[in-house]
Amino acid sequence: MSGNTNIDQARHPAADAVAMFFKNKPAIVALFVLVLIIIAGLIGPLLYPIDPFDMVWAPFGLPGEDGFILGTDYLGRDLFAGILHGTRVSLQVGLTAALMTVLIGVTVGALAGYFLGWVEEVLMRITEFFQVLPTLLFSMVIVALFGASLPMITFAIGLVSWPAVARITRAEFLRIRELEYVTASRAAGAKNLKLIFKVILPNALPPIIVQAALMVGSAILFEAGLSFLGLTDPNIVSWGQIIGSNRPYILDASYTVTFPGLAIFITVLCLSLVGDGLNDALNPKLRQR
């Protein structure tokens, strides 16, 4: 072809989003740190095979003492090993709970936003019911009633966190279902299921993805909160569990809660920055900003 060469190359919106994301420096740094944390969680325990439940040194060994870079806790257990092993558990809880939140939230929100009428009435009343319950107290009750095992804690976090996703999904559905391409699909004979999952949902995804990323962070915080209150499985190390069990010694050995606290802080901050980056990247209206 000759002549007019300044036609804009049509680009896939995802590529646009990726380009946009990589312009956001804090988000890139956060993503990098997050990847490091995930790698540490995956292979860290193999490289540093000290069992976090073994008593390896005198209690309250200071950081750096005898090679234990973060010191030891009240029973002389290696704090670094605890944090490293806890990474996997904390991330696992965060991801699983976020996934559960998205599954419940999207299903409820999509059905309510698509069908309207009594379906919406019923589903949104249920959502509101969960929304007005104090989340921490409600999850404490669940864990106290059914036992403080890791799956139950994850379940409790997921169960109390989905209303936000449901509301966002419903709002998106309400907006998109009236758009012309949806009407066009419907006119072309698309069934409800196809309209929901193939037509509307993909277009409603960006804010949901952002919400899910933030959800991982808040689930990690939630687990830490529950553990801090003692609602935790004592046979599994998580960051919150380390903080919870060392809390009584905070005046004598503050580092035993500082380091796991830092781990939570950094991870949640990174997740939050990445979430912001995704938000900017996936929201086309902000691209000119």
> What are the residues binding another protein (CB under 8 A)?
51, 53-55, 58-59, 74-77, 143-145, 148, 230-235, 245, 248-249, 251-252
Taking the complex as a whole, how short is the minimal distance between the CB of residue 144 and another protein, in angstroms?
4
Residue 74 gets which letter from DSSP? T
Please state, in angstroms and rounded to a whole number, the distance separating the CA atoms of residues 289 and 285: 8
Taking the complex as a whole, how short is the minimal distance between the CB of residue 39 and another protein, in angstroms?
26
Taking the complex as a whole, how short is the minimal distance between the CB of residue 139 and another protein, in angstroms?
13
Residue closer to another protein by CB (options 24, 246) is 246
Residue closer to another protein by CB (options 235, 288) is 235
Nearest-10 crossing angle of helices 201-228, 255-282: 170
Which amino acid makes up residue 262? L
Residue closer to another protein by CB (options 165, 231) is 231
Residue closer to another protein by CB (options 2, 235) is 235
Residue closer to another protein by CB (options 54, 128) is 54
Please state, in angstroms and rounded to a whole number, the distance separating the CA atoms of residues 271 and 150: 22
Q: How many helices (H) and strands (E) does the chain have?
A: 11, 0
Q: Which of 184, 143, 183, 179 is nearest to 160 (CA)?
A: 143
Please state, in angstroms and rounded to a whole number, the distance separating the CA atoms of residues 236 and 232: 8
Work out the angle at residue 156's Cα, subtended by the Cα atoms of residues 143 and 40, and round it to the nearest 5 degrees.
100
Taking the complex as a whole, how short is the minimal distance between the CB of residue 260 and another protein, in angstroms?
16
The count of C-alpha atoms lying within 13 angstroms of the C-alpha of 211, restricted to the half-sphere facing its C-beta, is 22
Helix (H, G, I), strand (E, B) or coil at 11: coil
Taking the complex as a whole, how short is the minimal distance between the CB of residue 233 and another protein, in angstroms?
8
Residue closer to another protein by CB (options 104, 231) is 231
Taking the complex as a whole, how short is the minimal distance between the CB of residue 31 and another protein, in angstroms?
36
